[in-house]
Amino acid sequence: MGKVTSKRYNAILAWLLSIVLALASLPSSALAESVVTSGEVVGEQDSVDEIIEDLNEDALPTPDADALGVEDAGEIYDQSDDAVLDVEATVEDDAALAIEEDDTGAALKEDAVESADSSGADAAVAARMDLEIDPEESVRSLAAAKVGAIPNQTYTGSPITPDPTITLEGAVLVKHVDYTVSYSRNRKVGTARVAIKGMGAYSGTIRATFKITAAPISAAVVEPIARQAYTGKKMKPLPTVVFNGVTLKRGTDYTLTYENSVNPGTATVIIRGKGNFTGTISATYQIVKPSVSYRTHVQRTGWQDWKKDGALGGTSGKGLRLEAINIKLGKQLLGGGIKYRTHVQGIGWQGWKKDGAMSGTSGKGLRLEAIQIKLYGAMAKHYDVYYRVHAQNIGWMGWAKNGRSAGTSGYAWRLESLQIVLVLKHGAAPSTKLKRQMQRIPVRYVKYSSKSYKMLARYGISYQSWGLSDSPMVGYVKLSPNHSGKRKHCIDTITPHYAGGYGSVEGFGVVFEPVSRQASSNYAIGYDGRVGMYVNECNRAWTSGSSANDNRAITIECANRLDGSLTNESWSSLVSLCADVCMHNGKTRLVYRGEVDYEGLGSGDMLLTMH
């Protein structure tokens, strides 16, 4: 075969280039398919060089005019020229399309860079992507890189992840392009660890550390602490301490100390940081003592204003009767409450009322003659209630407590005023001097005339030859055979005596019962303040070992502690009993001289002697 002419060669070459460009634009999967050229199958293993090499062979057949379907070869050359023009146009179009695609990609890349710039750290990544990197450049080790000093970090309760600065030969490397960072031990106070691992053009791992320091506990919030009830003991509520939304733990994150945590008023809890916290923060709370309030309905006056905590309710020196009462507790944080009942003229003891309800009568003009008050529930476990009344013809009587009777239910005398106080359980009774307990008693009520006897007899008070006998305070009676019968002297002496034991009124009854013991007393007061009677006042008891004293004295045995002291209850009852003995024996004054000395005593005086 002859050589291919230049014009024909150019036409074929243009045709082959169009095929190569078409193949280059196909995906690899399409490229793998066979391409049909001049009746021959070209596999993906054939290279373009091989195809061109084949074109240089003299064996390339000359196109047959008949096969091409044209009349002469000249038309073939013309068509070949057209083909060259078409191929060139196709190449130009493809190049324009490629340029357009490149422009579009560049625009998308610029948008991506702008988005990365808006995200802070990613701006460095985008900038790094714009750099031209020689694909043949070898991967470099981070071993010689330097990590900038990481400043101390303050504990936050969450993982702490500071970004270190990495430089290599003066160039600042870019996170997520040249390296990645991981952390450990970076939540609590101590030394945290950082691992920097190369990526992209860098390899290897370098390490660094930084310090996490304790946070000030003052940055925490202490929730308000509820009020606490005064009980005489330390009140140490546990505060709730919150830091960055997390409730801290006592003993792990902080310790507690308390100040002024016993008495009513403002107490303080000091919270001292521990572990992940340092410094202190304090909070305050209130310790509140419960109060008792009461108001009285007074003859011709009506309801008075509320009084509380020992203030006088009623009237003094006006001779006006109390007709009703309300009692309630305030600032009460323990639970429970207060109950009370009154002895009403012509009615007797009413049912128990509580927590502010009215006891007595209103609009009926009936006097109150006695009252009983007691606590219930948790209040009764922590407090005693003391109360005393100002009674007609007697004045202020001794303090009663916890349900005992105060007043003159057996004498039908009106109550004119009262006081009520709360005292811590087993605390000291309200302070009252003896002279304030002994009130002058109108003589007209204690003369031994038939008129006064008849008046008192209507209320069940017995009469004896030496005076009115037996106190209405008695709550237990067990008469002893150990006595001498009728006295040989009028009653003008009271002789209290320590019993030498912490006994009850029932126990005294057992002691005085045997004849062989040859011992007794007119009265005895138990450790709880109850009063027992063992020998009627008209009879001489065997108490003091002195016939002369026992013939003229009312003798009283008093239960006592091991150290010889009286309980608050027994002391209060002793004072009241002495006042009552004076009253119903016609005496207006109790006199103590330290020894048996009757010189200078008036007819209205009662001598107080020691056993």
Give me the architecture of the 135-213 domain, per CATH.
Sandwich (2.60)
Q: Are 471 and 584 in contact (CB under 8 A)?
A: yes
Q: Are 443 and 586 in contact (CB under 8 A)?
A: yes
**Mean pLDDT of all residues in 492-504:** 88
Residue 51 confidence (pLDDT) above 80? no
Q: Which residue has the higher pLDDT, 262 or 24?
A: 262
Three-class SS of residue 373?
Answer: strand
**Mean pLDDT of all residues in 411-433:** 83
Query: What six digits make up the tokens of 588?
Result: 């207006």
Report the C-alpha gap between 359 and 343 in whole angstroms.
9
pLDDT (0 to 100) of residue 572: 86
Report the C-alpha gap between 572 and 569 in whole angstroms.
5
Report the C-alpha gap between 536 and 526 in whole angstroms.
18
Question: Could you tell me the fold of the domain covering 443-608?
Answer: Lysozyme-like (3.40.80)
To the nearest whole percent, how much of the chain has pLDDT over 70? Answer: 72
Please, which pLDDT band fits residue 254 given cuts at 50, 70 and 90?
Answer: very high
pLDDT (0 to 100) of residue 580: 82
Residue 194 confidence (pLDDT) above 90? yes
> Of the ranges 93-97, 367-371, 565-569, which one carries the lowest mean pLDDT score?
93-97
- Single-letter code of the amino acid located at 25: S
User: Exposed, middle or buried: residue 261 (CB in 10 Å: 0-12, 13-18, 19+)?
Assistant: middle
Report the C-alpha gap between 48 and 373 in whole angstroms.
119
pLDDT (0 to 100) of residue 82: 39
Residue 23 confidence (pLDDT) above 70? no
> Residue 348: CB partners within 8 Å, gap ≥ 6?
none
To the nearest whole percent, how much of the chain has pLDDT over 90? Answer: 50
Residue 48 confidence (pLDDT) above 50? no
pLDDT (0 to 100) of residue 433: 44
pLDDT (0 to 100) of residue 379: 96
CATH placement of domain 216-288: 2.60.40
Facing residues of 74 across strands? none
Structure-derived torsion over alpha carbons of residues 105, 106, 108, 112, reported in degrees to the nearest 10: 130
Helix or strand holding residue 381 (H, E): helix 378-382
Report the C-alpha gap between 371 and 409 in whole angstroms.
9
> Of the ranges 14-28, 36-50, 193-207, 412-426, which one carries the lowest mean pLDDT score?
36-50
- Please report, for the chain, the start and end positions of each structural domain, with discontinuous segments joined by +: 1-131, 135-213, 216-288, 291-432, 443-608
DSSP 8-state symbol, 131: S
Residue 216 confidence (pLDDT) above 50? yes
Facing residues of 153 across strands? 212
Residue 516 confidence (pLDDT) above 70? yes
Query: What six digits make up the tokens of 474?
Result: 């008695």
pLDDT (0 to 100) of residue 22: 63
pLDDT (0 to 100) of residue 20: 65
- Single-letter code of the amino acid located at 46: D
Residue 334 confidence (pLDDT) above 90? yes
Q: Are 167 and 145 in contact (CB under 8 A)?
A: yes
> Does 135-213 match 216-288 in CATH topology?
yes
Pairing status of strand 254-259 against strand 531-533: unpaired
Q: Return the beta strands (E) in 224-315 as ranges.
A: 228-229, 241-243, 246-247, 254-259, 265-273, 277-278, 280-288, 291-298, 302-303, 307-308, 313-314
Owner of token pair 């048996």: 596
- Average pLDDT over the chain, rounded to whole? 78
Query: What six digits make up the tokens of 54?
Result: 């084949």
Owner of token pair 């009674």: 391
Pairing status of strand 368-376 against strand 406-407: antiparallel
